[in-house]
Amino acid sequence: MPPAMQAAEGAGQRRNGPRILMNAAQRALSRGARSLSLGSPRSPPPSYGSIVTVLSIDGGGVRGIIPGTILAFLEEKLQDLDGPEARISDYFDVIAGTSTGGLVTAMLSAPDDAGRPLFAAKDINQFYLDHCPNIFPQASKGPFGLMRSMMGPKYNGEYLHSVVKELLGDMRVGDTLNNVVIPTFDIKLLQPTIFSTYNAMKDKSKNALLSDVCISTSAAPTYLPGHHFRTEHEDGKVREFNLIDGGVAANNPTLLAMTDVSKQILMGNPDFFPIKPADYGKFMILSLGTGTAKIEEKFDAAECSKWGLLGWLYNRGATPIIDSFSQASADLVDIHASVLFQALHCEKRYLRIQDDELKGETASVDVSTQENLNRLIDVGKALLKRQVCKVNAETGKNEPDQNRGTNEEELVNFAHMLSEERKARLQKEGNVDF
């Protein structure tokens, strides 16, 4: 049995008793108590340190392999500093993910029976290699697949649902090791629905099964079916969700993560005292894209002016209307965050890693052949060697940042900063002497 499915089997047998919703202070205490028995103690909350650490992962289907490759490198560097048991979730206060990024978020943050992450970062890509061919079967391509997608979703989603449910079992959003932020969009209410650990601990109706949230945030229009489920309020009143892909609202969830922290500060969450709600200079953010095909400049105004409904929904293997919306939302977030950190004179605390030069099948969200999946791993590895880029607010394009090194070098620096922050927090809490 593959490691991913072994983890899923264990997860499916996990706790079935009633849940106890803890407030933030209780959760921080429970994390501290658990960390005493571990080789790599989790970081205490930001109130014990000086910054808020955020990891954000874009949506992008099979292209989730690209951030998977980046995260494997970062976790390896953290292990070089703090030992082989170090995991990504030990260092980030908030992990946000949309669509495929939401699934990666769950893999990094969901606990196993020992209270450690279900997946090491190095295992993420193997999960994609094992399961993407069945989530996106290539038999759905070609003219018959196109006809089928005109009448319903391109893929039925049954395999994705079964794998996610088996992997995450009865775990709920409030059970995650980190505060996760996973966006979805309610097609019935026509508004975003954001799931986060902190919200789940305060509102029972938002403490949904993590599997339902992952299925929902991955339900990309035209590709996978929307997802319906119910939860209950404290008084027993039923709450219904009719959800589709979070990329409709926020394909790059960086700002959602920052907003979630600011909201917690406004509400007086002791995890973040004494940080102020708009004190963004104390944020440290790693934002991982899943790549784009901007370099192809595939369409122009003359061509799209002739399109009708079908042309906007499917054209030369792409979905222009969906691609435009999701890329626009991701780019606007990057522009906002980049300019914000420049204005605060703390550019080194914001690192966006994105490849705008995907071509052909690597730019697809659903080409799941082994050849393409392996090419995406190579894309991630090559991206590590490239110079750090920052978005040009005027042109919207990523340009090399002459003041920074390669993505690999910056991630090594990030690893050192994350390690030092974690050690300082543990020392202040009194858990560990260094």
What is the DSSP annotation of 331-400? Answer: HHHHHHHHHHHHHTT-GGGEEEE------GGGG-SS---HHHHHHHHHHHHHHHHSBPEEE-TTT--EEE
pLDDT (0 to 100) of residue 147: 66
Question: What local confidence, expressed as pLDDT, does residue 306 receive?
Answer: 86
pLDDT at position 35, please? 38
Q: The CATH number of the domain where 410 resides is what? A: 3.40.1090.10
Over range 375-400, report the average pLDDT: 91
Mean pLDDT of 373-390: 97
35 located within any domain: no
Q: What is the pLDDT of residue 289?
A: 96
Q: Is residue 94 part of a domain?
A: yes
Residue 393: inside a domain, yes or no? yes
Tell me the pLDDT band of 218, cut-offs 50, 70 and 90.
very high
User: What residue numbers bound the domain in which 272 lies?
Assistant: 41-431
What is the per-residue pLDDT across 9-68, written as a single tens digit (0 to 9) for each? Answer: 444 443 333 332 333 333 333 443 333 334 457 789 999 999 999 999 999 999 999 999
The pLDDT assigned to 372 comes to 98
* pLDDT tier for residue 397 given thresholds of 50, 70 and 90: confident
Q: Residue 300 pLDDT more than 60?
A: yes
Structure-token match 């289907």, residue found: 61
DSSP annotation of 48? G
Question: Alpha-carbon distance 398 to 353, whole Å?
Answer: 10
Which of 26-35, 285-294, 342-351, 354-363 is the least confident region? 26-35
pLDDT band at 295 (very low <50, low <70, confident <90, very high): low
Nearest to 418, CA basis, from 352, 348, 353? 348
Average pLDDT over residues 297-311: 85
The reply to whether 199 falls in a domain is yes
Give CA 403 to chain center in angstroms: 28
Helix (H, G, I), strand (E, B) or coil at 296: helix
Please give the positions annotated as active site.
99, 245
Read off the DSSP letter of residue 45. P
Q: Distance between CA 31 and CA 392 in Å, rounded? A: 41
The percentage of the chain sitting over the pLDDT mark of 90, rounded to a whole number, equals: 66
pLDDT value of position 57: 99
What is residue 310's predicted lDDT score, i.e. its pLDDT?
Answer: 81
Instruction: List the single range of 38-47, 61-70, 106-115, 132-141 with lowest mean pLDDT.
Output: 38-47
E strand or H helix at 241, and its extent?
A: strand 238-244
According to DSSP, residue 71 is labeled: H
Give how many domains the chain has, as a whole number.
1
Q: pLDDT tens digits for 159-176?
A: 999 999 999 999 999 999
Residue bearing tokens 């061919």 = 133
Cα separation, 427 vs 434, whole angstroms: 7
- The residue ranges of DSSP E strands in 197-237, in sequence order, are 227-232
Predicted confidence at residue 148, as pLDDT, reads 66
Q: At what angle do helices 158-168 and 3-12 cross, to 10 degrees?
A: 70
**In which residue are the tokens 């917690």 written?**
264
Task: Tell me if 27 is assigned to some domain.
Answer: no
Does the structure show a pLDDT above 80 at 238? yes
This prediction's pTM = 0.88
pLDDT of res. 142: 59
| Confidence at 374, pLDDT banded by 50, 70, 90 | very high
Q: How confident is the model at residue 270 (pLDDT cuts 50, 70, 90)?
A: very high
* 144 is a domain residue: yes
Mean pLDDT within 90-114: 97
Q: What is the pLDDT of residue 320?
A: 84
Mean pLDDT in the chain? 87
Instruction: Name the more confident of 40 and 362.
Output: 362
31 located within any domain:
no
Q: What is the mean pLDDT of residues 203-223?
A: 97
